[in-house]
Amino acid sequence: MDYIKIRFTKDFDQLDSRFEKTVEDLFRTINPMFTIAEQKWKPQMDMYETPDEIIIMGEIAGVNKEDLELEISGKAVKIQGKRSQFPRIDNAKYRLAEIQYGKFERVLYFPSPIDPEVVSASYTNGFLQVRLAKLVLDKTFKVPISEE
């Protein structure tokens, strides 16, 4: 059984600037073959919660499981990886180039506290699923008082 790398961290670095992303999108609109040396792309993600857990689904078809990495803090999860480009066909004129390649990174903030001890991740048919157990905060415990 292969595993998806999961690291636990206290905090994340700053996200890419919006300006950089806007300029990149502008040039890709003009010419879809334009790419910055190491272009980042943004896979589609869903996050939903049940009373007991938070579930994240990511659409990342074409990414090898070995190229995926998750970092989890108490507030968020960072999902990052890389999709390798398929070999181009010589003497072909591209009329449409929408599939994005290269590195990607998404940081998703949790709607409620999670238990970092209870996390699982699976990757099937191009979809990454991350399941995180929620912390039970309103649970009360009776504490026995002993005599000295």
Q: Which domains does the chain have, with CATH numbers?
A: 5-85+95-134 (2.60.40.790)
Mean model confidence pLDDT for the chain: 82
Query: What is the band of 14 on the pLDDT scale with cuts at 50, 70, 90?
Result: very low
pLDDT tens-place string over residues 33-82: 555 445 689 999 999 999 999 999 999 999 999 999 999 988 899 999 99
* 133 vs 13 pLDDT, higher one: 133
User: What is the predicted pLDDT for the residue at 136?
Assistant: 77
Q: In what order do the strands lie in the sheet with 127-134?
A: 44-49, 53-59, 127-134, 114-124
Average pLDDT over residues 11-31: 58
CA distance 66 to 69: 8
In percent, how much of the chain has pLDDT > 90?
Answer: 48
- Residue corresponding to tokens 């919660």: 49
Query: What is the band of 94 on the pLDDT scale with cuts at 50, 70, 90?
Result: confident
User: What is the predicted pLDDT for the residue at 36?
Assistant: 47
* 63 vs 143 pLDDT, higher one: 63
pTM of the model: 0.69
Contact by Cβ (8 Å): 39, 32? no
Which letter does DSSP use for residue 20 in this model?
A: H
User: What is the predicted pLDDT for the residue at 18?
Assistant: 57
Residue 12 exposure: Cα atoms within 13 Å on the Cβ side: 20
Q: Look at residue 112 and tell me whether its pLDDT is greater than 80.
A: yes
User: What is the predicted pLDDT for the residue at 38?
Assistant: 53
